[in-house]
Amino acid sequence: MRRDVQAVVLILVGGAVLRITLGDTFLNYVQEGMRPWLLLSGGILVVLGVLALIDVLRKGREAADEETPHDEPHERDHGHGHGSGGPRAAWLLLLPVLAIFLIAPPALGAYAAARDVANSAPPQEAKAPPLPPGDPAQVTVAEYVGRAVWDDGLTLIDRTVEMTGFVTPDPAGDWWISRMAVACCAADAIASKVKVLNAPDLPADTWVTITGRWVPGGGTKNDTAIPLIEVIDLVEVPQPRNPYE
């Protein structure tokens, strides 16, 4: 790849990284703790690209200064043609960068959640701690799944809980409230799903906050079990700043 093309690619890639990191778009792809490293890497790429572009321009001026009037025209033309050549396919590397600038891909949603077979893993603690006092108790979708599936719902009996997630259609009917969790980035995301009872039909990927009570059923002690919740109240909400748990 020509050095001038390399320089432009570095600048655009670094600029794209900085663009999504200075806002909250990067949270669609990685954990929030990655922000300093993304800012650092994006800044380094931009600086390297600018330095490389300056070096290309400097060498181009030096080459032009070294040309003399005694050079044969065809020799000058040959050198000029060689300098401006290069694989045009290299510019295709800019397409992913332009995609980020123009249309940043959204966070993982209902499509990914529906295809994640496992719903929870055995918790490290054998017994779940009691929910905090007061109703409704705010829980994550993954926490509700863990309490219902691996602790037989014991800490959920006679309690009202509140959780936020997105709608994932259930092929068997109705829908699940879902939330993705990431350890590092979207590539390792896992889904948690809870079957919602007595709720209106809503489009996939609609973000909601629901208040409800645990209902026995859905299976226990199994990583594919999907617990149930009976809705008391449901409110459509915007996507949270950080879509992942």
pLDDT tens, the chain, 245 aa long: 577 777 877 888 888 888 888 988 888 888 888 889 999 999 998 898 888 888 888 877 777 767 655 555 444 444 444 444 445 655 666 676 776 767 777 889 999 999 998 898 887 776 889 999 999 999 999 999 999 999 999 999 999 999 999 999 999 999 999 999 988 888 888 999 999 999 999 999 999 999 999 999 999 899 999 999 999 999 999 999 999 98
Report residue 13: phi and psi, to 5°.
-65, -45
**CB count in 10 Å sphere of residue 232:** 14
Q: How far apart are CA 225 and CA 231, in angstroms?
A: 19
Q: Which CATH class is domain 111-236?
A: mainly beta
Stated as kind and residue range, the H or E segment containing 209 is: strand 207-215
Question: Would you kindly state where each structural domain of the chain is located, as residue ranges?
Answer: 3-105, 111-236
- The alpha carbon dihedral of 131, 133, 135, 140 has a sign of negative
pTM tops 0.85: no
Number of helices (H), then strands (E), belonging to the chain: the values are 6, 6
Residues forming beta bridges with residue 212, ordered by sequence position: 161, 231
Structure tokens at 218: 């859905």
